Structure 1
Amino acid sequence: MAWPVWTTAILPSVNGVMFGPEAASAMHIVKLTTSRPKKSNRLYYWATLRPIDPRAPIGAGRYVVDKAAYERWQLAPTRPAQVVHVEGLLGARIALAFR
């Protein structure tokens, strides 16, 4: 699961308690980047995404994505990304999968 980067504190845990129905939204891949946490050799994979439909329930933002999605999108950056998302218990949109 992933949340937009601005979601912090206890909210991800509470929102993850119960999910509404799944939906999928097509999103433009604006940018792909990586970063390293301090004192680690691991990589974080990031995608800046923007919904194709401005009425989509999921917003634009910088998302932490899995390595497989990052590598797939690097090969075809102009193809829209499909983001599977749900509404959490407190109303936040939670990204469950990236296709």
Structure 2
Amino acid sequence: MTKDPKISANHITTYLALANLWSLNSYAPTFNVTPEEIICHAKLESPQELRACLKYLEKAKYIKIYPTRIPSNGIGIKLISLYKNGTHNPQNDSRIIK
């Protein structure tokens, strides 16, 4: 995300809210969440802001959105790995305290 010049604070808080909701859904590969939950966790002002953030995050390939047939079930979300082609090696990560 650091090399993405178009990303804003709203995009980051939305992504972090989705990561938090993902953890609350037991790290399921794809999970359902309502727009109201995302707005609450991301502290966004309106559904229009949420729509714009989700649209950008999907276009930039940070997330994948799966519409559900029943609107009350919310939307399906899949977080896409931020590491390219599985090249991340945790042993080389200087941020990890050993």
* TM-score above 0.5: no
Looking at secondary structure, tell me which structure has more strand per residue: 1
Higher relative contact order (Cα pairs below 8 Å, separated by 6+ residues):
1
Looking at secondary structure, tell me which structure has more helix per residue: 2
User: Could you say which structure has the larger radius of gyration?
Assistant: 2
Q: TM-score, normalised by structure 2?
A: 0.21
